[in-house]
Amino acid sequence: MSALTSLPEWKKLSELASAVKDAHMRDWFAQDANRADKMRLEACGIFLDYSKNRVNDDALKGLFDLARACKLETLRDAMFSGEQINSTEGRAVLHTALRNFSDRKVLVDGEDVMPEVHATLAKIEAFTASVHSGEHKGYTGKPIKHIVAIGIGGSFLGPKIMTEALKPHTVDAVKVHFVANVDGCHIHDVLSSVDFEETLVVMSSKSFSTQETLQNTLTAKDWFLKSGGTQEDIAKHFVAVSSNVKAATEFGISADNIFPMWDWVGGRYSLWSAIGLPISLALGFENFKGLLEGAFEMDTHFTTAPLEENMPVLLALLGVWYRNFFDAQSHVLLPYYHYLRGLPAYVQQLDMESNGKEVTQEGESVDYPTGPIIWGSEGTNGQHSFHQLIHQGSGVIPADFMLPLNVPNQDDTHHAMLASNCFGQTQALMQGKTFEECYADLDGTGLDDAERKRLAAHKTMPGNKPSNTFLFDSLTPKTLGALVAMYEHKVFVQGVIWNLNSFDQWGVELGKVLGNQVLAGIQGEADKDNFDASTQQLIAKFRAANAPK
């Protein structure tokens, strides 16, 4: 048995879950008029109603006891103070330093990193201003109108999704285009839509070794040179964000054009660093700073609020409750706001790359489920497709609904309909529709009793399906920053409970290595015996289809 499942707090939760499984939330609401009022939290501009969860006071107490038994507060403080909690890579985990607006020093190997963080922010601010004002010109003297932001994983999802979410704040001066996939269709489409004299390429790669990003940048460079630019002109059109300054300069990016980041910032936690440069270029530096300020507020809440009133802690524990005691395989995110439609994909990387692990910090196999599958998309679209499975599927899928109370270009009818669908779904999931109600609905249809019963069984909605509902006034940069930091800390707390290293990603690294080996095979530069028979067959098919005619 693992250390976690041997804890008395774990065993207690098992017992509490068995008891709760027989209860229906519908009855809890009927019995306690104050349930919604008691089960809500507010922090950093985010209102959370968590009353539609399958927890009572005993279960909540048991969950907070578990968090304390797992030394959550000690480990949280270790992260914020720069201890090397990424134990497999020997690194500190300090994305929180990037948004530290307090006077607190943050030490890495005895050195305060805050001066470097501030200097980089100042560089982002100055560069953004010079591009927007037209002071930074292309080599033919034209102002920059297009930014082609190249990166993948954490060097793509954060910048793209935050820029999309804050679309109403977009500046007019430039248009930002994101390219991630190595599939040449994407870079081709983007480059063919912009004028090279007015284009700035921002290449973002923490490691400066990611195949997709290097290849897309080479293609962009080639396009620039073929279009008429020269090697010397590259300095005006290519900048890079990387912690590997040496590789970036060797690649041909001038040292002045490199925005630094550091190995204590994980890729999926890097939007707050210079990786966020495309956000600043798309929305203006003040809005980028707003994101950081919102995240800082959430950091302050996370480090100071008592566990029972701590939003990320509560969310994490509810997730543990369903994952470990109700066999929930996945968790769905449902933003009822078109511009926030990318959030599920963002949290997917954040959560699944962090807690998609099967060994403990000590390297032992876990004997309990860890990170769930994260998925979802914007409401109301999903209601007309996959919500069926959430309502009547055979498992439990906890859901996070979120809705801004005000939206840009507000049309009251549209917005009221959006809100009513959001709230209506949470209500339907919670209360369901009983067999008796469905049977009664079929009264007067002329069906015989057996057929009425058969149909009623199909129409019955069990309800008791858990959800959280998040509301905010409007999606400002600060609110978005707080929301993203809230999910970051939720993932951290779950990693602590499950005793995982949430900050490495060896599975993804192996994929990168094997991809390069197979490329050598496709290019005829590797012995076919390096590959298994299936992979050999696939390579041979590809080579045959692409052989010179």
Ligand X SMILES: O=P(O)(O)OC[C@H]1O[C@H](O)[C@H](O)[C@@H](O)[C@@H]1O
- Alpha helices per DSSP H over 207-361: 211-227, 234-237, 245-251, 277-283, 285-304, 311-325, 343-355
CA distance 455 to 375: 31
402, two tokens: 């979120």
DSSP-assigned letter for residue 259: E
Min separation Cβ 314 and ligand X, Å: 27
- Residues 154 and 274 sit within 8 Å (Cβ to Cβ): no
Subset of residues 26 to 85 that bind ligand X, contact rule: CB under 6 A: none
Residues 6+ apart with CB under 8 A from 137: 143, 144, 236
Q: Is 354 among the residues that bind ligand X (CB under 6 A)?
A: no
Whether 21 is a known active-site residue: answer no
Min separation Cβ 215 and ligand X, Å: 12
Catalytic-role residue among 226, 384, 458, 549: 384
Kind of pairing, strands 46-49 and 40-43? Answer: antiparallel
- The residue among 141, 140, 121, 139 whose CA lies nearest residue 129 is 121
Examine residue 476 and say whether the peptide bond preceding it is cis (omega within 30 degrees of 0). no
Min separation Cβ 149 and ligand X, Å: 12
Min separation Cβ 208 and ligand X, Å: 7
- Residues 303 and 189 sit within 8 Å (Cβ to Cβ): no
CA distance 82 to 499: 19
Specify the residue, 224 or 269, whose C-beta has the smaller distance to ligand X: 269
Q: Which of 170, 207, 380, 535 binds ligand X (CB under 6 A)?
A: 207
Catalytic-role residue among 12, 136, 459, 512: 512
Specify the residue, 241 or 397, whose C-beta has the smaller distance to ligand X: 241
Specify the residue, 135 or 509, whose C-beta has the smaller distance to ligand X: 509
CA distance 424 to 336: 12
CA distance 481 to 299: 10
Min separation Cβ 250 and ligand X, Å: 16
- The residue among 317, 472, 461, 442 whose CA lies nearest residue 387 is 461
Specify the residue, 70 or 265, whose C-beta has the smaller distance to ligand X: 265
Specify the residue, 100 or 155, whose C-beta has the smaller distance to ligand X: 155
Specify the residue, 229 or 342, whose C-beta has the smaller distance to ligand X: 342
Q: Which of 213, 216, 355, 464 binds ligand X (CB under 6 A)?
A: 213
- 258 C-beta neighbours (distance < 10 Å), count: 22
Specify the residue, 212 or 299, whose C-beta has the smaller distance to ligand X: 212
Specify the residue, 240 or 430, whose C-beta has the smaller distance to ligand X: 240
466, two tokens: 């858990």
Q: Which of 128, 210, 383, 469 binds ligand X (CB under 6 A)?
A: 210
Subset of residues 143 to 182 that bind ligand X, contact rule: CB under 6 A: 152-155
CA distance 168 to 223: 32
Residues binding ligand X: what is the number (CB under 6 A)?
14
Residue type, 370: T
Min separation Cβ 156 and ligand X, Å: 8
Catalytic-role residue among 197, 353, 378, 488: 353
Q: Is 355 among the residues that bind ligand X (CB under 6 A)?
A: no
Positive or negative: CA dihedral 447, 449, 455, 459: positive
Residue type, 427: Q
CA separation, residue 332 to residues 433, 466, 495, 502, 537 (Å): 22, 11, 19, 20, 38
Min separation Cβ 330 and ligand X, Å: 21
Whether 146 is a known active-site residue: answer no
Whether 490 is a known active-site residue: answer no
Residues 6+ apart with CB under 8 A from 279: 158, 159, 162, 163, 166, 271, 287, 288, 291
Residue type, 175: K
Interface characters, 310-349, with ligand X (x: CB under 6 A): ----------------------------------------
Subset of residues 186 to 205 that bind ligand X, contact rule: CB under 6 A: 205
Q: Which of 54, 76, 177, 206 binds ligand X (CB under 6 A)?
A: 206
- 88 C-beta neighbours (distance < 10 Å), count: 13
Min separation Cβ 508 and ligand X, Å: 4
- List the beta bridge partners of residue 471: 47, 403
Subset of residues 246 to 305 that bind ligand X, contact rule: CB under 6 A: 267-268
Min separation Cβ 246 and ligand X, Å: 14
Specify the residue, 155 or 431, whose C-beta has the smaller distance to ligand X: 155
Q: Which of 120, 348, 502, 505 binds ligand X (CB under 6 A)?
A: 505
Q: Is 508 among the residues that bind ligand X (CB under 6 A)?
A: yes
Residues at the contact surface with ligand X, assessed by CB under 6 A: 152-155, 205-207, 210, 213, 267-268, 353, 505, 508
Catalytic residues: 353, 384, 512
